[in-house]
């Protein structure tokens, strides 16, 4: 279900799919001010979410372009309420996986820094437009930094697994270690860096499920 949705088009040879679950984000963040009659706040939130997910798309295409250096094709990118997922036809183990994993967070941090730096150097962000732009920069920095946490199958988990495999040459063992590290990191990271609500719990649960599913797949396909 998470791999299906509304086709938005084809970009750089990769289909872009919007999963219907994305609209949960609109309901959670844009509906409350709309119900209160605050049309300006609702419109601002919708615009912010659109820009945020454009940043997510850029993040995913950074992975795709890095993957192409290793001959990896990507059929589609799926955007859902918890982020994006580039559906690559394969993942090379070892340092290539690490470098592909780094590409997305590096792009997000680069964009965030470009936006935030002028304000940090003295440009005021006291009016509504400049404050909005500053927040876009901040969320890109957060997106980049959050994704390098060692949680599998997030970018940080793949970065760590690539490094572990480079030294151990054992993909099942490397995946298992990263899975355990991720399970220890998830509650601390999510409960300290994100608001504690139902959406956060759902995202945590989905990441745990995806982690277990991919570990089971690796264990069935490979033998250390």
Active-site residues: which are they? 60
Q: Determine the angle formed by the axes of helices 128-147 and 39-68, rounding to 10 degrees.
A: 40
Rg (the chain; Cα; Å): 18
Q: How far apart are CA 171 and CA 162, in angstroms?
A: 9
Q: How far apart are CA 86 and CA 64, in angstroms?
A: 7
Whose tokens are 């690559």? That residue is: 88
Q: Are 124 and 106 in contact (CB under 8 A)?
A: no
Q: How far apart are CA 213 and CA 97, in angstroms?
A: 19
Cβ-proximal residues to 76 (8 Å cutoff; 6+ apart), any chain:
3, 14, 15, 16, 17, 87
């Amino acid at each position: 279900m998470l791999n299906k949705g509304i086709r938005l088009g084809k970009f750089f040879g990769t289909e872009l799919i919007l999963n219907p679950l994305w609209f949960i984000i609109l309901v959670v963040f844009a509906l409350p001010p709309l119900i209160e009659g605050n049309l300006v706040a609702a419109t601002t939130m919708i615009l912010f979410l659109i820009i945020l997910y454009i940043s997510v798309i850029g993040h995913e295409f950074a992975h795709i372009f890095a993957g192409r250096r290793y001959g990896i094709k990507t059929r589609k990118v799926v955007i859902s309420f918890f982020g994006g997922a580039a559906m690559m036809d394969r993942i090379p183990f070892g340092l290539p996986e690490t470098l592909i994993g780094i590409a997305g967070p590096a792009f997000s941090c680069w964009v965030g820094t470009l936006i935030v730096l002028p304000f940090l150097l003295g440009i005021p962000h006291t009016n509504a437009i400049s404050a909005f732009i500053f927040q876009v920069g901040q969320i890109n920095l957060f997106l980049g930094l959050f994704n390098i946490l060692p949680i599998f199958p997030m970018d940080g988990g793949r970065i760590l697994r690539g490094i572990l495999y480079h030294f151990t040459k054992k993909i099942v063992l490397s995946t298992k270690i990263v899975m355990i590290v991720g399970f220890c990191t998830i509650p601390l990271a999510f409960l300290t860096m994100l608001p504690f609500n139902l959406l956060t719990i759902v995202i945590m649960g989905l990441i745990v499920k995806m982690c277990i599913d991919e570990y089971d797949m690796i264990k069935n396909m490979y033998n250390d």
